[in-house]
Amino acid sequence: MLMVGQQISNFHLKKCTYYFEIAVALAVAAIPEGLPAVITTCLALGTRKMAQKNALVRKLPSVETLGCTTVICSDKTGTLTTNQMAVAKLVAMGPRANAVRSFNVEGSTYNPSDGKIQDWPAGKMDANLQTIAKIAALANDASIERSDKGYVAGGMPTEAALKVLVEKMGLPAGLDSGSSKNYNDLMGCSHAWNQNEHRIATLEFDRDRKSMGVIVSSNYGKKSLLVKGAVENLLERSSYIQLSDGSVVELDQKAKSVILDSLNELSSSALRVLGFAYKDDPSEFVTYNGDEEHPAHKLLLNPASYPLIESNLTFAGLAGLRDPPRKEVRQAIEDCREAGIQVMVITGDNKNTAEAICREIGVFGPNEEISSKSITGRQFMEHHDQKGHLAQKGGLLFSRAEPRHKQEIVRLLKDAGEVVAMTGDGVNDAPALKLADIGIAMGIAGTEVAKEAADMVLADDNFSTIVAAVGEGRSIYNNMKAFIRYMISSNIGEVASIFLTAAIGIPEGLIPTKYIMKKAPRRSDDSLISPWILFRYLVIGLYVGLATVGVFVIWFTHDSFLGIDLSGDNHSLVTFSQLRNWDQCKTWENFTVSPFKAGDQVFNFDSNPCDYFHTGKVKAMTLSLSVLVAIEMFNSLNALSEDESL
């Protein structure tokens, strides 16, 4: 130690200490000033990029948090699927209690003329089919509208699909079809049912009883309760079934098994299944006509009484609705798997339906054993080892789930150290969205309460948008780390340079510009940025931007530039107009792209030529970055003096 101390003393200790203190002060001062601005800029740019991808960020810090996501808990309907519902199968009761009839329904759009019902008794519907049509038409708040984009749903897609079914079923003999003449043909049958019986009360849908009911009064004063909802829940509250001729018999275990077999068959085919039930002359509402003073009105104001009102029902039939998965979801889930992100599907749908969809989109393999990975929300709450269940690798499915189940799942995942992104759309989902690290609300189907509670809103309700946002979050974090790495290492290098120069005792290697003492003193009121300096900044920035963007454009539009051959990789050329309108690529006719090689990777765009402007821009990006770095290196030398040549 004494020897070392003597050596340092010989190397001008005072001078070394002086320069070291200055260098450390400069390094420490530079970091706090630069970091907040860079972090804020990165987050702001990331927010803008996410908005372009339909992910609207409401809270800036959540942009970076997205990059840490380890688990995505996603709803199914509308997020993993298109939410473009269409009835594919109708099951009605048969002539006997243990028999059912099935009808295949054609069409996949909201156009009532798109397909028909196979083997349908047009104009000769029996009593049971009429009951199903009446429930589908009246226990329904949706509409079908014709627009420039075709036929669109007004209201819930599920209910809109039932309206289309009513139109395909047609009107039974005896119903006043003339009442529909004042309406367009689009919803004529539904309007005819509404003319024959009008609604006097509504029992709104809730997730506990999983059904929605209406009380209607016929033109003859007869009251009826019409209910649609989850088949299992309706069967629990049904005591009778209606046969094809309209007669009512008791719902015994054998009849219930036949109905449940039909339910399993439909749900195993990835169909979402709804049941239809009714009750004639409900005792509490026989004299009710909407009067607020009537005793029955108090029952309607209390949702807790709805299960009691919807009891002793008569089951009439069921319908299977197809909600096809989004095409891009399978790849998004594969991307999650490669990125180490676990996907959990939490849905209110039937277990078999949800399992079939999950196999179709790749959450589960086609032959994967999932008995331990797919359970209902109720089973999860009763599970003896909830944390152990959530700790399983691979995809997990929670069907018939309720908002409180979502909340418990998020809480347990966070306790286990996971960073959780949770989707939701309803008012009751708000607590789970608040609790999650990243709460994601649906922009189309979501309520305002859910959006307010969320950190991010999906403008397109699409699962793949979540995955794209997570990727953007990771990029932002990497960019911030790269800048911090550059800033700290550069400042430490400056400290080391000044310290070593003083410690060794050599002449200073970093001194002011050599001509600085040959100039007259600056004025005390000189501004740091004069008009001339500002002009220089603008000119330099302009040519840096033009060169960087220009080389990107040139690669796409030219096969050579300034004598440099750019066609060696055989990439396809596009016009400048096409490049400017690249986002309209899907509308271009006969647009094809040749495969080309970048490094060891061959890019082929036979399946989707428009990917040329996404994954195919790798070489153009490399050229732009190279030009930007080269110019900035020269610009750093250029910045040494305002008016002297290098």
What pLDDT, on the 0 to 100 scale, is given for residue 393? Answer: 92
| Active-site annotation holder among 75, 349, 429, 461 | 75
Q: Rounded to whole angstroms, how far apart are CA atoms 109 and 144?
A: 11
CA distances in angstroms from 290 to 52, 161, 216, listed in the order given: 49, 29, 10
Give the SS3 label for residue 155: coil
User: DSSP letters along 63-91, please?
Assistant: HHHHTT--EEEE-STTTTB----EEEEEE
Average pLDDT, 10 consecutive residues per value, the chain (646 residues):
38 45 48 55 68 80 83 91 92 93 94 92 91 96 86 91 95 66 69 91 90 92 94 95 96 95 93 96 89 88 92 96 91 93 93 92 92 94 94 94 92 95 89 93 88 90 89 81 76 77 77 66 76 84 91 90 79 91 87 85 84 86 88 80 68
Residue 416: DSSP 8-state: T
Contact, 570 vs 596, CB < 8 A? yes
Count of Cβ atoms closer than 10 Å to residue 227 Cβ: 28
DSSP, res 275: E
State the pLDDT at residue 133.
96
Is position 75 annotated as part of the catalytic site? yes
CA dist 114 and 189 (Å) reads 16
Q: Mapped to the 3 state alphabet, what secondary structure does 356-377 carry? A: HHHHHHCCCCCCCCCCCCEEEH
Cβ contact 91:262 at 8 Å = yes
d(CA 143, CA 159): 8
Residue 369 zone, left/alpha/beta (φ > 0; ψ -120 to 50; rest): beta
Beta bridge partners of 225: 215, 279
CA atoms within 13 A on the CB side of 638: 11
For 308-347, b/e burial (b = at least 16 CB within 10 A) is ebbeebbbbbbbbbbbebbeebbebbeebeeeebbbbbbb
Pairwise CA distance, residues 363 & 583, whole Å: 30
| Residue 284 DSSP one-character state | G
**Distant-in-sequence contacts of 119-126, Cβ < 8 A, 24+ apart:** 120/168, 120/169, 120/170, 122/170, 123/170, 123/171, 123/172, 123/173, 124/172, 124/173, 125/169, 125/170, 125/172, 125/173, 126/244, 126/245, 126/246
Percent of the chain past pLDDT 70, that is, above it, reads 89
Which residues on neighbouring strands pair with residue 105, listed in sequence order? 117
| The predicted structure's pLDDT at residue 46 | 67
CB-based burial of residue 108 (10 Å sphere; 0-12 exposed, 13-18 middle, 19+ buried)?
middle
